[in-house]
């Protein structure tokens, strides 16, 4: 009897599998030791190990005796949860239940940063086509810049399912790296005087319950009328928010924020890992995608900061915006707001930018979902 | 450059304009809702000036 018959997994191991197992260990290390998005990176890291052991029963295998396919659990999860978009949409319900839109009512103009800081998505999409990706692949890569994991998963699972693994890894890894990626870009584009700029606080302004209840409903209706393809994304997000704000479903709201979010996150992470097999992941394209992902984050940050500077040209002195707040227009909530608040305090220990930064960051959560919907609507028309 | 490059440029133009249009609409929704449903809760005042000094002390 040969070794390959006795230990088929050892005999079937390729160098790509070994690299992916190392990637799995790295993701687990980053999750535990550095606490970089541990809820997603740990399941993805473990899943990467799980699916890179040759002949793993976690993935569908062909039975050599009968020639029949033996369906693996992760493939079943993938078909049920990712291909149908169910898992990311359930995550949106959970995120919606966690979002408080009051800061936007306190300073509505900061919502516009949620649009400006999506600039990097489009720049990256154009650049990705220039380096050889197809339009659908380029759009899926660009959406990494949304700093919004579920949106990245939905867009790439529809437009470029072959790239889902690297795109998800890039999206979640870079979200965790916001404290490292954003500060140098912000510092490069702002002067010390600009970083020290103080902003008027509207934190004491109270928002009526009726307005908070009507906002998610109106946003859903308006988004649906203009771009119906964005409705799944924005609708589930706003549904979660309505559960939170209605005041009569506190139990459901807590469940969405905790149990639902946790359960789906476990399944989402390990299911995405099913696409992280060595033969699909260890390619030059993956390196290009990871590089383009950083590119997208950098240009998003720059877009937000430069838009704030442009807005300041038209605003009265007492209403001027600290340009650093523009960088919070990405969807990485509340990490981006915390980073910018910290940068403000570093320049001036009495400059509290947290509330405006949170407002812009909430705008970014809406903006990223809208961009996801727009890309899903526009790309098939051009492809 | 490939045809996809020019298509991506076109989509980017429409996409950036689109997201600004959406956010501007939502901006006006926020303003409108805030105007239509202002928070009218005011700090509770004592019903009678004398009540202010009617503590248990």
- Are B19 and A118 within 8 A, CB to CB? yes
H-only helix segments in A33-72: 38-51
Assign A319 a pLDDT band (cuts: 50, 70, 90): confident
Residue with tokens 């890992």: A273
Instruction: Check residue B41 and give its pLDDT.
Output: 62
Chain A interface disruption, residue of B3, B10, B15, B39, most A CBs within 10 A: B15
Nearest chain A residue to B34, by CA: A211
Assign A94 a pLDDT band (cuts: 50, 70, 90): very high
CA distance A270 to A256: 20
- State both tokens at A369: 């979902």
Residues of A with Cβ-Cβ distance to B16 under 8 angstroms:
115, 118-119, 122
Nearest to A114 among B10, B23, B36 (CB): B23
Contact call for residues A311 and A282 (beta carbons, < 8 A): no
- Are A111 and B9 within 8 A, CB to CB? no
Distance in Å, alpha carbon of B44 to nearest chain A alpha carbon: 15
Neighbours of A350 (CB within 10 A): 7
Instruction: Check residue B53 and give its pLDDT.
Output: 46
Residues of B with Cβ-Cβ distance to A112 under 8 angstroms:
20, 23-24, 27
Nearest chain B residue to A108, by CA: B27
Question: Does A65 score more than 50 pLDDT?
Answer: yes
Mean pLDDT, chain A, as a whole number? 91
- Helix (H), strand (E) at residue A61: strand A61-62
Mean pLDDT of A152-175: 90
- Are B4 and A227 within 8 A, CB to CB? no
| Cis amide prior to A334 (ω within 30 degrees) | yes
* Residue B17 in contact with partner chain A when CB distance is under 8 A: no
In the DSSP assignment, the letter for residue B37 is S
- Are B12 and A112 within 8 A, CB to CB? no
Assign B43 a pLDDT band (cuts: 50, 70, 90): low
Share of chain A above pLDDT 90, in %: 68
Distance in Å, alpha carbon of B55 to nearest chain A alpha carbon: 29
* Residue B34 in contact with partner chain A when CB distance is under 8 A: yes
Closest among A236, A212, A113, A120 to A174, alpha carbons compared? A120
Mean pLDDT of A136-165: 92
Question: Does B57 score more than 70 pLDDT?
Answer: no
Mean pLDDT of A41-57: 92
Instruction: Check residue A39 and give its pLDDT.
Output: 87
Nearest to A115 among B14, B23, B39 (CB): B23
Instruction: Check residue A210 and give its pLDDT.
Output: 94
What is the Cα gyration radius of chain B? 27
Assign A69 a pLDDT band (cuts: 50, 70, 90): confident
* Residue B51 in contact with partner chain A when CB distance is under 8 A: no
Q: How many CA atoms lie within 13 A of A9 on its CB side?
A: 11
Instruction: Check residue B55 and give its pLDDT.
Output: 40
- A202-213 burial: b if 16+ Cβ within 10 Å, else e: eeeeebbeebbb
- Are A111 and B4 within 8 A, CB to CB? no
- State both tokens at A65: 């005796």
In the DSSP assignment, the letter for residue B10 is H
Residues of A with Cβ-Cβ distance to B42 under 8 angstroms:
none
Cβ neighbours for A130, distance < 8 A, ≥ 6 positions apart: B1, B2, B5
Between the alpha carbon of residue A56 and those of residues A83, A106, B14, the distances in Å are 21, 53, 45
- Are B39 and A108 within 8 A, CB to CB? no
Residue with tokens 């086509």: A129
Instruction: Check residue A140 and give its pLDDT.
Output: 96
Share of chain A above pLDDT 70, in %: 99
DSSP conformation letters of B1-57: --HHHHHHHHHHHHHHHHHHHHHHHHHHHHHHHHHHS---------SSGGGGG----
Q: Count contacts between A and B (CB, < 8 Å).
A: 121
- State both tokens at A141: 């890569």
Residues of A with Cβ-Cβ distance to B2 under 8 angstroms:
129-130
Reading phi first (left if > 0) and then psi (alpha if -120 to 50, else beta), residue A227 is in: beta
Residues of A with Cβ-Cβ distance to B34 under 8 angstroms:
105, 108, 207-208, 211
ipTM (interface pTM): 0.88
Distance in Å, alpha carbon of A33 to nearest chain B alpha carbon: 38
**What distance separates the 2 farthest-apart alpha carbons in chain A?**
84
Contact call for residues A89 and A339 (beta carbons, < 8 A): no
Question: Does A176 score more than 70 pLDDT?
Answer: yes
Dihedral pair phi/psi, residue A276, rounded to 5° = -95, 40
Instruction: Check residue A333 and give its pLDDT.
Output: 83
Question: Does B54 score more than 50 pLDDT?
Answer: no
Instruction: Check residue A267 and give its pLDDT.
Output: 92
- Are A105 and B41 within 8 A, CB to CB? no
Assign A160 a pLDDT band (cuts: 50, 70, 90): very high
Question: Does B48 score more than 80 pLDDT?
Answer: no
Assign A203 a pLDDT band (cuts: 50, 70, 90): low
- A249-269 burial: b if 16+ Cβ within 10 Å, else e: eeebbebbbeebbeebbebbb
Distance in Å, alpha carbon of A91 to nearest chain B alpha carbon: 22
Share of chain B above pLDDT 70, in %: 68
Q: Is A100 helix (H, G, I), strand (E, B) or coil?
A: coil
> Exposed/middle/buried for B55, CB within 10 Å: 0-12, 13-18, 19+?
exposed
- State both tokens at A177: 């790296």
- Helix (H), strand (E) at residue A292: helix A284-312
Closest among A207, A112, A179, A227 to A340, alpha carbons compared? A179
Give the residue with greater pLDDT, B27 vs B47. Answer: B27
Distance in Å, alpha carbon of A58 to nearest chain B alpha carbon: 37
Neighbours of A13 (CB within 10 A): 16
């Amino acid at each position: 009897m040969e070794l390959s018959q006795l230990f088929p997994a050892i005999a079937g191991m390729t160098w790509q599998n070994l690299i992916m197992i190392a990637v799995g260990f790295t993701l687990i290390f980053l999750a535990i030791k550095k606490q970089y998005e541990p809820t997603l990176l740990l399941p993805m890291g473990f899943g990467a190990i799980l699916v890179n052991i040759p002949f793993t029963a976690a993935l569908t295998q062909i039975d050599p005796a009968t020639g029949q396919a033996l369906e693996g659990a992760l493939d079943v999860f993938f078909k049920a949860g990712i291909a149908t978009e169910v898992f990311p949409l359930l995550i949106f319900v959970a995120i919606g239940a966690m979002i408080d839109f009051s800061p936007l009512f306190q300073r509505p103009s900061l919502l516009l940063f949620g649009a400006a800081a999506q600039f990097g998505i489009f720049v990256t999409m154009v650049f990705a086509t220039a380096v050889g990706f197809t339009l659908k692949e380029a759009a899926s890569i660009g959406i990494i810049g949304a700093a919004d994991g579920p949106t990245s998963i939905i867009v790439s699972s529809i437009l470029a399912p072959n790239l889902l693994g690297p795109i998800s890894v890039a999206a979640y890894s870079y979200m965790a790296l916001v404290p490292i990626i954003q500060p140098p870009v912000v510092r490069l584009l702002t002067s010390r005087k600009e970083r020290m700029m103080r902003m008027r606080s509207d934190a004491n302004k109270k928002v009526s319950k009726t307005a908070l209840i009507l906002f998610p409903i109106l946003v859903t209706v308006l988004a649906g009328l203009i771009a119906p393809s964005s409705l799944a994304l924005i609708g589930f997000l706003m549904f979660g928010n309505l559960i939170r704000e209605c005041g009569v479903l506190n139990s459901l709201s807590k469940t969405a924020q905790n149990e639902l979010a946790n359960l789906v996150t476990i399944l989402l992470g390990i299911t995405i890992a099913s696409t992280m097999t060595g033969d699909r992941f260890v390619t030059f394209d993956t390196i290009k995608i990871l590089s383009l992902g950083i590119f997208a984050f950098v240009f998003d940050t720059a877009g937000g900061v430069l838009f704030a500077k442009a807005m300041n040209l038209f605003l009265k002195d007492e209403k001027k915006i600290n340009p650093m707040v523009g960088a919070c227009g990405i969807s990485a909530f509340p990490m981006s707001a915390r980073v910018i608040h910290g940068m403000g305090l570093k320049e001036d220990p009495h400059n509290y930018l947290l509330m405006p930064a949170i407002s812009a960051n909430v705008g970014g959560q809406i903006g990223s979902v809208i961009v996801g919907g727009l890309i899903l609507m526009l790309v098939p028309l051009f492809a | 450059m490939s045809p996809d490059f020019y298509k991506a440029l076109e989509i980017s133009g429409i996409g950036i304009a689109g997201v600004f249009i959406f956010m501007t609409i939502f901006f006006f929704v926020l303003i409108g809702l805030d105007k239509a449903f202002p928070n009218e809760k005011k700090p509770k005042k004592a019903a009678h000036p004398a009540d202010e000094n009617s503590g248990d002390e």
